[in-house]
């Protein structure tokens, strides 16, 4: 079973204050897939920041 972690994605769009936060629990190896899918569905996103909590997901192992 893949170890899953709590992850947040902060997506920045053109214009002042246009930020969207997404929260997901997933394996680290799925982060690139999430980003590629988001870029496909939101082509005008300017940047994406990713944060994960390495110890919060240990019970999901």
Q: What is the pLDDT along the chain (61 residues), one digit of tens a residue?
A: 689 999 999 999 998 889 999 999 999 999 999 999 999 999 999 999 999 988 864 554 4
What is the chain's length? Answer: 61
pLDDT, position 17: 85
Instruction: Spell out the SS3 assignment of the chain.
Output: CCCCEEEEEEEECCCCCCEEEEEEEECHHHHHHHHHHHHHHCCCCCEEEEEECCCCCHHHC
pLDDT, position 58: 54
State how far the Cα of 50 lies from the Cα of 34, in Å rounded to an integer.
11
């Amino acid at each position: 079973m893949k170890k899953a972690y709590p992850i947040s994605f902060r997506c920045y769009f053109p214009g002042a204050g246009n930020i969207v936060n997404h929260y997901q629990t997933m394996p680290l190896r799925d982060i690139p897939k999430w980003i590629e899918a988001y870029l496909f569905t939101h082509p005008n996103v300017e940047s994406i920041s990713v944060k994960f909590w390495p110890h919060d997901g240990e019970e999901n192992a």
